[in-house]
């Protein structure tokens, strides 16, 4: 997977995270705190996964090492 595609996918996940936080806030304002908390847990789980993906890309030495012939 090329870096542009990875960046696009991570950006889409960021947008999804933002949308989930907005939905959770609307639920909370509407008095549905249980579902608000559940949606926030999904949003923060998504954010955690994004960070894990980025960390693995940065720390993976095979991504920067040139293949030997």
Quick: pLDDT tens for 10-59: 899 999 999 999 999 999 999 999 999 999 999 999 999 888 888 877 76
Average pLDDT over residues 5-13: 87
Q: pTM (2 decimals)?
A: 0.73
The tokens for 4 are 């542009």
pLDDT at 67 over 70: no
Q: What is the pLDDT of residue 7?
A: 83
Distance, in Å, from the CA atom of 65 to the CA atom of 12, rounded to the nearest integer, reads: 28
Q: Could you give the C-alpha distances from 34 to 19, 27, 40, in angstroms and in order? A: 18, 9, 10
């Amino acid at each position: 997977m090329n870096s542009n595609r990875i960046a696009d996918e991570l950006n889409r996940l960021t947008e999804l995270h933002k949308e989930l936080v907005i939905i959770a806030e609307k639920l909370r304002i509407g008095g549905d705190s249980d579902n608000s908390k559940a949606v926030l847990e999904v949003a923060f789980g998504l954010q955690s996964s994004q960070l894990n993906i980025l960390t693995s890309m940065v720390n993976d030495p095979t991504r920067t090492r040139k293949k030997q012939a």
